[in-house]
Amino acid sequence: MSDNTPQRIGDYEIIRELGHGGMGKVYQVRNVLSDRIEAMKVVLPDLASRTDFSGRFMREIKVLASLDHPNIAALRTAFTADDQLVMIMEYVDGVTLADRLERGPFSTAEALNYINQVLAALSYAHSKHVIHRDIKPGNMMLTPQGVVKLMDFGLARSGNEIGLTITGTTVGSLDFMSPEQVKSEPTDERSDLYSVGVSLYQMVTAQRMFRATTGYSIMEAHVKETPRPPIEIQPTLPKSVSDLIMMSVAKDPTQRFQTADAFRNAVVQIRAALPQQAGETTATVMRPQSRPVPPSSTSQPSVSPPAENVRPTPSDAIAPPAPAKAGRGALLAVAAVLLVAVLAAGWMYKSRQHPEATTGNMTNAPTQGPPTNPPASAASTPVPQPPPPGAVPPNAINAPAAPAQETAPHTASKRSATNASPSLKPGGAAPDSQAQDQAAAALAQKKLLDELEKETDQLDSRAAAAEGSLNTLEQQMHASGYGLRGDMVAARANMRNDLAKAKQAMDSADTDRARRYLDLAHREVEKLEAFLGHR
C-alpha cells in the first residue's frame, strides 16, 4: 500500500488497492468483525462535494441494492465515513475479460460461454428495468471457476429515472457505445445488446471493431460505418457466430436482437452446434500445450483440430520418432553426454574413496616455521595496546595508510568548534540559528511556489488548447446531430474548477492545497487530451 492509503475505514481494514479511476478508488478490505474479504469503493474526498459524482455514486448504490443475481457482483452495504461515500461489494477474485483478451482471442466456445453468462445477468437486470449502459470486457470479471460477474453499474439507469443524462451529452465507453448513445437519443435495453455484440467481436478477433483513433471518428464510425465482418479477420470463426455478431451491432435498434433472452437463445443454439462443425473453433490459449507434430513434407500449413475436444489415447503419449536427417548428429550428442557423465561419476567416486587426497594435504601438512598471523579465538585474542609515542608499530611497513588517522586532528578541531558554538550563549542555541532556519524555510517556500506557478502556466496552456479543440468538436458534433460525451463535459468543468482553486491556493501560499488541485486538474486535462487524440 502507498503511504496515502488509509489503514482502516469503519470496521474495514485496508489490505491493498485494487484500482482507481476518475471517481474514486477500490480496495480489497477485511471486515474486522466477520473476517470476510470484501471490495470497498470510495469516492475521492475532493469529489464527494460535487453533486454530479455523488449523485452517480448514490444511483449505483441504489441500483445494485435492487439486484441479486449470480452473474452480478453483489452489494453488501453502503455508508458514509469522514464525509466520504463508501460502498462495500462482493470481492470477486479473478481477472477482467479485457485483461484476459490481452493474451489473444478467445476460442469460440469460451467466448460464447462467457457472453451467455453476461446475457443472463442483463436479462435479469432488464427485467428490473435497469439498463447498464457501460457494457465492455473491462466490466466483466472472470473467476478461476469460469464464472463471469458483471460489474460497475455506475452509469446504470432505472426505468423510472429521469434527468440522468445531461442534455446534449452522451455517456459510456467510446468503443462500445451504441449509435443512439452517440447521438444522445433515448436508449433502452437494445443499447446494452449492441455493446455486448461489440464485446463479442473483440473477444473472438482480439481487435477493436473500428480502427479510428480520435474520439470523434470513433463516434462517427458507430453511426455511419459498417464494421468488417469478424470472419474476415478470424477465418476459423464459424459463419453462424459472425452473423450473430453482425446482427447484434446493427445501426438500427429494430434490426438487432430485441431482448437479452432472444440474444441468449441464439448463443445457446450456436454453442450446441459447435461440436458438429469440426475445425471451426479455435484452440483456447488456456489449454495445455499439445505434443509437437513433425513437420510435413509439403509446404502448405495444415490446420489441426481443436485441442479442447480431443481425448488423448495411450498412443498419444509416445513421442514421434526423430527425423532421419538428424540421426547422426543426435547419436554424437548422446555419446558426448554419456562420456561427460562417466568422467564425472568417476571423479566423484574417487573423491569419496580417498578424501585425504583432496583435503588431507591441507589439514595435516606440517607448518614451516612460526605462523605470521596465528589463528586465535575471540576469547584468547589479546587486545592490542597503542604503541608508545614515537614507537613504530609492528607490520607498519606493510600496513596501508589510514586516512582516518591523518584527518583525525582536523576532525577533532572541527568537532571542538562545533561543540563550542552552542556554549557561546547560555540556554543552548546560537543566537542566529532561528533566524537562519526561518530564512531557509522562506526560501524553500518561495522556490516551491515558483515551481508550482511554472507548472500552472504550462497546464494552463494545455488546458486552453484542449478546451479550444473540444469547443470546435462540440460545434461540429451538434451540427451533425451528435452530442458531446457527458464525461468530457464534466472533465471540462472540473478542469476549470480545479485550476481556479489551485491558483487561489497559490495566492494564499497554501502549497499543499495548490498541489492537490493541480494534480486533479492534470487528470482532467489528460482525459480531454486522450479523447481529442492530442497524445
Cβ-based neighbours of 122, under 8 Å, separated by 6 or more: 132, 135, 150, 189, 192, 193, 196, 260
Classify each residue of 416-446 as buried b or exposed e, where b means 16 or more C-beta atoms within 10 Å of its C-beta. eeeeeeeeeeeeeeeeeeeeeeeeeeeeeee
| DSSP 8-state code for residue 72 | B
Dihedral of alpha carbons 477, 483, 485, 489, sign? positive
Classify each residue of 36-48 as buried b or exposed e, where b means 16 or more C-beta atoms within 10 Å of its C-beta. eebbbbbbbeebb
Contact indicator for 223, 179 with CB cutoff of 8 Å: yes
Contact indicator for 208, 273 with CB cutoff of 8 Å: no
Distances from the Cα of 288 to the Cαs of 207, 228, 320, 325, in angstroms? 24, 32, 19, 30
Q: How far apart are CA 510 and CA 506, in angstroms?
A: 6
Nearest CA among 488, 449, 481 for reference residue 466: 488
Contact indicator for 483, 183 with CB cutoff of 8 Å: yes
Helix/strand/coil for 38? strand
Helix/strand/coil for 157? strand
Per the annotation, the verdict on 243 as an active-site residue is no
H helices present in 274-378, as ranges: 327-353, 361-363
Q: How far apart are CA 279 and CA 292, in angstroms?
A: 19
Catalytic member of 134, 175, 487, 498 = 134
Q: How far apart are CA 86 and CA 57, in angstroms?
A: 9
Nearest CA among 168, 166, 136, 165 for reference residue 152: 136
C-alpha cell belonging to residue 509: 501560499
Nearest CA among 181, 235, 233, 182 for reference residue 209: 233
C-alpha cell belonging to residue 400: 596501508
- Length of the chain equals 535
Q: How far apart are CA 481 and CA 183, in angstroms?
A: 6
**What is the separation, in whole angstroms, between the first and last Cα of the chain?**
30
Catalytic residues: 134
